[in-house]
């Protein structure tokens, strides 16, 4: 008999593990889905198949479950399936959890010592003809994009030396190259970072290692047409703490924030380091180079959004006390010194997104999600224990904001942008809306340019969908 899950915030209410693998052919849709939307939206969610070995764990440790929404001829077909990692298979065979705390192998059952810990639960990307499920503490897992079957762990055919691969690779839409990195590349708690490039065919063509000032949670980075920027925020790992059975990450505001900036095709030894006060960023909206100036647009927060990271650093505050903002950081390479210019852009939020065509270049429009207390009380969902209740469109050149609240008893999961083929059309956003009043979900499709008009189509899903992390849209012709 399966044991119960814990009664902590990451496991109760909407965060209760779902463990449902399913398929719904032809979702019921209210409104009209434009026929030009033709492709598959892949989305990943952590969903632990067993209660934690040690009685507790965090949301982001859950086994990867892949969701696929296939949009075709005005219809949507839905499927979700577990990713059968080595870890998932070993635990399924044992009938219980064998791995201990998030990113702490010293807490594992001896039977899995040295076996893969990856859960592939963060970002699905389609590149070089492969669908990959990414998790930053390990290597990618390759999936069949049609059946969602797990094909195996992916290491660029034996070429990748880094033990890890970020869940936030950066695509150059013009060249088709995928820029990525791995941190703790040489092992647990190391300062090794691998900077990597895969060409449009999905072959690894570059891997260069360097060291960051300290081992840090490097969740995302920025690549422009000319530069790569590696952020180092003061959320640190310590091997002795791991050996003592402690948290992989702890907030440590005694350290500064560092940014390594290098020419993207240059040498890692040419990295120039900039410094700023302690803060934390999970995600960057976009970045671009303008002459000698490199701009990086970030979903800033004064302290990390995840309670377990704050608490391991001794900071016990609720999510309502975190201050955030959308900010632009500028690194001027023509000036001496190590200081960063900062320009406020917009209200707090996360899950930022631009149209693929705007990646890496000067751009006008971005989209991101917010929790705004004016729209309703907080609802515990997802790893930050507060769900988003609005989506915002920002015009970067004018500062103009357009916001769509999703309803006081609803929350929204990360949106994906879908390009339109119509000239002058800004495309669409699609996102899951959790209906907490009825314990079900919907997929909302909105016209990006007219976000505030609300959904043009709402697809009904007669199930609670646990809060996912990231997704990506793959046009039918690419598949």
Minimum CB–partner distance for residue 136 and ligand V55 (Å): 5
Position of minimal CB gap to ligand V55: 60
Instruction: Decide: 203 and 192 in contact? Cβ < 8 Å.
Output: no
Q: Which of 242, 351, 469, 474 binds ligand V55 (CB under 6 A)?
A: 469
Minimum CB–partner distance for residue 410 and ligand V55 (Å): 21
Minimum CB–partner distance for residue 48 and ligand V55 (Å): 12
46 binds ligand V55 (CB under 6 A): yes
CA distances from 75 to 25, 38, 103, 453 (A): 9, 9, 40, 21
Instruction: Decide: 101 and 119 in contact? Cβ < 8 Å.
Output: no
Q: CB within 8 A of 240, min separation 6: which ones?
A: none
Q: Which is nearer to ligand V55, 41 or 71 (CB)?
A: 41
**3-class DSSP assignment, residue 268:** helix
Minimum CB–partner distance for residue 135 and ligand V55 (Å): 6
252 binds ligand V55 (CB under 6 A): no
In 323-449, which residue ranges form alpha helices assigned H by DSSP? none
Binding mask 82-121 for ligand V55 (x = CB under 6 A): ---------------------------------------x
Minimum CB–partner distance for residue 468 and ligand V55 (Å): 9
Q: Which is nearer to ligand V55, 81 or 219 (CB)?
A: 219
Task: Compute the distance between CA of residue 60 and CA of residue 471 in angstroms, rounded to an integer.
Answer: 15
Q: Which is nearer to ligand V55, 136 or 297 (CB)?
A: 136
Minimum CB–partner distance for residue 470 and ligand V55 (Å): 8
Q: Which is nearer to ligand V55, 37 or 167 (CB)?
A: 167
Burial (CB < 10 A; 0-12, 13-18, 19+), residue 124, is buried
Q: Which of 219, 241, 248, 353 binds ligand V55 (CB under 6 A)?
A: 219
Minimum CB–partner distance for residue 400 and ligand V55 (Å): 28
Task: Compute the distance between CA of residue 222 and CA of residue 219 in angstroms, rounded to an integer.
Answer: 11
Nearest to 213 by CA among 161, 274, 170: 274
Task: Compute the distance between CA of residue 460 and CA of residue 444 in angstroms, rounded to an integer.
Answer: 9
Binding mask 277-306 for ligand V55 (x = CB under 6 A): -----x------------------------
- Quick one: three-class SS letters along 24-45? ECCCCEEECCCCCCCEEEEEEE
Minimum CB–partner distance for residue 235 and ligand V55 (Å): 10
122 binds ligand V55 (CB under 6 A): yes
Q: Which is nearer to ligand V55, 42 or 331 (CB)?
A: 42
**3-class DSSP assignment, residue 270:** helix
Q: Which is nearer to ligand V55, 15 or 289 (CB)?
A: 15
Instruction: Decide: 118 and 85 in contact? Cβ < 8 Å.
Output: yes
Question: Rounded to 5 degrees, what are φ and ψ at 180?
Answer: -150, 180
Minimum CB–partner distance for residue 59 and ligand V55 (Å): 8
Task: Compute the distance between CA of residue 289 and CA of residue 9 in angstroms, rounded to an integer.
Answer: 41
307 binds ligand V55 (CB under 6 A): no
Helix (H) or strand (E) holding 198: strand 192-198
Q: Token digits for 26?
A: 């032809």
Q: Which is nearer to ligand V55, 428 or 431 (CB)?
A: 431
Residue 62's beta-bridge partner residues? none
Q: Which residues from 136-175 bind ligand V55, rule CB under 6 A?
A: 136
Minimum CB–partner distance for residue 424 and ligand V55 (Å): 34
250 binds ligand V55 (CB under 6 A): no
Q: Which of 27, 33, 37, 60 binds ligand V55 (CB under 6 A)?
A: 60
Task: Compute the distance between CA of residue 154 and CA of residue 120 in angstroms, rounded to an integer.
Answer: 11
Q: How many residues bind ligand V55 (CB under 6 A)?
A: 9
Binding region for ligand V55 (CB under 6 A): 46, 60, 121-122, 135-136, 219, 282, 469
């Amino acid at each position: 008999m399966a044991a119960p899950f814990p009664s902590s915030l990451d496991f109760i209410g909407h965060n209760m593990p779902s463990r449902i693998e399913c398929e719904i052919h032809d979702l019921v849709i209210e409104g009209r889905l434009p026929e030009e939307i033709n492709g598959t939206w892949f989305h990943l969610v952590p969903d632990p198949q067993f209660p934690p070995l040690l009685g507790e764990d965090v949301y982001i440790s859950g086994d990867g479950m892949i969701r696929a929404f296939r949009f075709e001829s005005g219809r949507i077909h839905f499927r979700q399936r577990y990713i059968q990692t080595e870890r998932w298979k070993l635990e399924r065979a044992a009938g219980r959890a064998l791995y201990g705390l998030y990113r702490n192998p010293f807490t594992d059952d001896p039977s899995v010592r040295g076996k893969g810990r990856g859960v592939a639960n963060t970002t699905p990307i389609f590149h070089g003809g492969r669908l990959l499920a990414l998790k930053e503490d390990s290597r990618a897992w390759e999936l069949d994009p049609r059946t969602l079957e797990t094909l195996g762990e992916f290491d660029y055919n034996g070429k990748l030396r880094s033990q890890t691969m970020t869940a936030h690779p950066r695509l150059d839409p013009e060249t088709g190259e995928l820029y990525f990195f791995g941190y703790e590349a040489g092992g647990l708690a190391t300062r090794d970072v691998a900077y990597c490039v895969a060409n449009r065919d999905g072959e690894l063509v570059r891997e260069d290692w360097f060291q960051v000032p300290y081992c840090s949670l490097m969740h995302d980075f920025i690549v422009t047409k000319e530069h790569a920027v590696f952020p180092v925020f003061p959320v640190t790992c310590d091997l002795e703490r791991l050996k003592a059975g402690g948290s992989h990450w702890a907030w440590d505001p005694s350290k500064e924030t560092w940014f390594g900036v290098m020419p993207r095709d240059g040498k890692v030894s040419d990295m120039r380091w900039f410094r700023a006060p302690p803060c934390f960023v999970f995600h960057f909206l976009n970045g671009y180079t303008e002459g000698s100036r490199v701009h990086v647009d970030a979903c800033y927060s004064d302290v990390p959004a995840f309670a377990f990271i704050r608490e391991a650093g001794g900071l016990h505050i609720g999510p309502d006390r975190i201050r955030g903002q959308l900010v632009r950081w500028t690194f001027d390479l023509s000036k001496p010194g190590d200081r960063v210019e900062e320009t406020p852009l917009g209200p707090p939020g996360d899950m930022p997104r631009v149209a693929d065509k705007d990646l890496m270049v000067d751009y006008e429009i971005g989209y991101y999600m917010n929790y705004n207390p004016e729209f309703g009380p907080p609802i515990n969902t997802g790893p930050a224990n507060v769900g988003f209740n609005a989506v915002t469109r920002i015009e970067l050149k004018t500062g103009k904001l357009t916001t769509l609240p999703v309803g006081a008893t609803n929350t929204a999961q990360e949106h994906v942008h879908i390009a339109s083929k119509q000239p002058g059309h800004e495309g669409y956003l699609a996102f899951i809306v959790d209906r907490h009043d009825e314990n079900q979900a919907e997929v909302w499709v909105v016209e990006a340019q007219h976000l505030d008009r609300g959904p043009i189509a709402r697809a009904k899903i007669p199930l609670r969908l646990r809060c996912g992390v990231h997704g990506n849209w793959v046009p039918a012709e690419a598949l």
